[in-house]
Chain A
Amino acid sequence: MFNPEMAQDALSTLLLGLLITVELTLLCGASSLVFGMFVALARMSHIRPLRLVVSGYVQLVRATPLLIQLIYIYYALPFVGIRLSPFMSAYLGLTLNVSAYLAEVYRSGIEAVPRGQRDAAAALGMRPSVIMARVVLPQGIRIVIPALGNYMVSLFKDTSLAAVITVQEMLFAGQIYAARTYDYFTIYTVVFVLYFAVGYPAIRLVMLLEKKVKRGYADRKRLLMTPTGDVAAMEVRP
C-alpha cells in the first residue's frame, strides 16, 4: 500500500508543485482583493454603462463553472489570437473568477454599514468619495474580513483545477509522478496531506480573524485596514 520510499522520492517534485500552487494563490488572491474592490465600486457607480458592463461580467462568471472558464481561456482563446501560457491563463481565469465573488462580498459589507454613518460624515461636509474612503469602506471591509479569508482558502484549493490546463502545480505534478510510477495511492496520499498541511492552518487563521473582528475596535491588537482591502498590518496599541 503506502510506500514510504516512493513518498520520499516524490516529495521534492510535489513540493515544487506546492510552491507553484502557493504562488498562484498569493498572486491571484492579492489581485482579486484589489480588482474585486474596483468591481464592487463600479457596480455602484453613477455611470450606467459602466455598471451594466461590470454586472454583466459578474453574472457571466457566477453562472458558469470555473473549470470551463479556465479551459476556455487556455484552449479556446488561441483560436481568436489570444495565446497565453498555462500559468498566465490560470492567473487570469482565477483572478477574474474570484474577483467577481469578492465584489459581491465587498458590496454586502458596504451595504451593511449603517446609513447614519454616511449621514454623519455628510453632515461634517465630507464629499461622497471621502465618505466612501474614510468612513464606509474601513467599516464595510472589516465586516467581511472573515468572508474574504474563506474565499482565499477556496482559491488555494481551486488552484488545483489549473492542472487541467497543464500548470505544473501540485496536483499536476502528482498526476505526472503517479502516471509514471503507477503508485497512485502513495502519491495522491502525499498530495492530499500536503494540501491539508497548508489549508488547515489557513482556515484556523480565518477563524482567528473572525474572533478578532467580533471583539470590536478597541481590542489591543487591532487590524489596520487600507482602503483597497488589503490587510496592511497588525498594530499593537500602547
Chain B
Amino acid sequence: MSPTFQILLLKGAFTVYLLATVLSLLNTRRHSQPLQRTIFWLFTSAFTLHTLCLLGRWYVAGYLPVTNLFSTQFFFSWTLAATYLYFELRYRIQSSGLFVILLTLLLLASAMPRDPAIPPLIPALDTPLFTLHIIFSFAGYALFAMAFSLGVLYLLQVRLKSALLPNLSELRKMNEEAIFLGFALFTLCMIFGSIWAQVAWGYYFSWNIKSVWSSIVWLFYGGMCHAKFVRRWQGSGYAWLSIAGFGVVLFTYLGIGLLMSSNHPLD
C-alpha cells in the first residue's frame, strides 16, 4: 500500500467521521431514527476506511506501527472508534457516545499534520510482546475514555432527566462494563509489558514514572471494579470516579509522554 493511498484512506476516514459527528450533534436535538441509522452507517464506513489504513500500514511496516506520536494517535483513535462501535452494536448508545466520536476525530485531526512515514523498527521493539502490550494498552485507554463519557452523561442525566439520554440504570450498566473491560484489557497490557521488561532489562518492574503511573491506573480501576459493590460509590460516585480515572489515564498517556522524559517517549 503506497503512502499516497494510506493518506487518501486516512483523509477519507476523517471526512466521513466528521460528517457522522456533525450529524450526531444535530441528532442530539432531533433524535431521529433514520438519521441515527445514517450516522451509524457513516461511522461504520469511516471505521472500515480507518481499519484498512491501519492494516495497510501494519502490512507495509511488517510490525504494528505505534512507535511515534502520529502512529499512537492514529491507533488510539482506531481503538476509540472500535469501542464506540462495540457499545453502539451492543446497546444502541447513539449520541451517548458523542464524546468518544469527538475524541476520535480530535486525535485524527491532531495526527494528520504530522509525518505519517513509518520509521524502521528498532530491535528493542522487535518482539510480539510489544504488539500485545500496545494493543491491550490502547484498548484499555479507549474503554476508560468511554467510561468517562458515560460518567459525564450519568451526571447530566441525574440533573436533566432527559428522554434523549439513556436512563440512569442503562448508563450505570454501560459504565461498569466499560470499566471492567478496560481493567481486564489493561491488566493484560501490564502483564505483557512486565514480561517484555523482564526479557529486555532483566527485571519486570522499573521505577520510572511511566511504570509507576501505569500501576496507578491499574490500581485505580481495580479499586473501581470493587467500588461498584459499595452502595456509597454506586451511581454518581462511580460516575465521578470514571471522570477522575480518565484524568489519570490522560496524564499517563499524554502528560508523561509529552512533558516528561520517560522510557515511553511519544516523539
A binds B: no
